Amino acid sequence: MAETIRGGAFLQQCWSVHPLCLTVKRVEPERIVVLTCSSCRMVHRVTTGAITKQASAAESASPEAGSAEQDALAALKTCMGTHMSALSVREMDVFQDALWVRCAECRAQYDLTVSQFETQQK
């Protein structure tokens, strides 16, 4: 089994050097978002503390309070099922423990608050 490296440095480097090779693969239980890189052959697992969805200009602006976080997770899963190839990492900051994923198809942005970064070699 491959060694697991904890920390966001490998994901940060991967995204900085070849951002177009980094794809969102799936959402696992326990709110883990899995990203893979076809260039460096790394699998990055991001455990999220919170996910919020920034609506596109075409959507209504304010979601109802209370279930907004569950709605954002469900929206991300739906987006992945509908047009996974359109999802991309737009920005990330390991100092703020944040990752921003955007869908080019529906133009929604998902703001992920990260509680843990992990990287493994494929």
Looking from the CA of 102 toward its CB, the CA atoms found within 13 Å total: 8
Contact by Cβ (8 Å): 100, 112: yes
Q: What is the pLDDT of residue 122?
A: 76
Rounded Cα distance between 112 and 53, Å, is 9
Domains of the chain, by residue range, sit at: 5-121
Which neighbouring-strand residues pair with 77? Answer: none
How many helices and strands, by DSSP H and E, does the chain display? 2, 7
State whether residue 74 is helix, strand or coil. helix
Is pLDDT of 66 > 50?
A: no
Q: Which of 3, 5, 11 is nearest to 97 (CA)?
A: 11
Q: What is the pLDDT of residue 60?
A: 56
**What's the mean per-residue pLDDT of the chain?**
87
Q: What is the pLDDT of residue 71?
A: 87
Phi, psi at 48, each rounded to 5°: -100, 140
**pLDDT per position as a tens digit, 20-64:** 999 999 999 989 999 999 998 899 999 999 999 987 666 655 544
Q: What is the pLDDT of residue 59?
A: 60
pTM recorded for the entire structure? 0.85
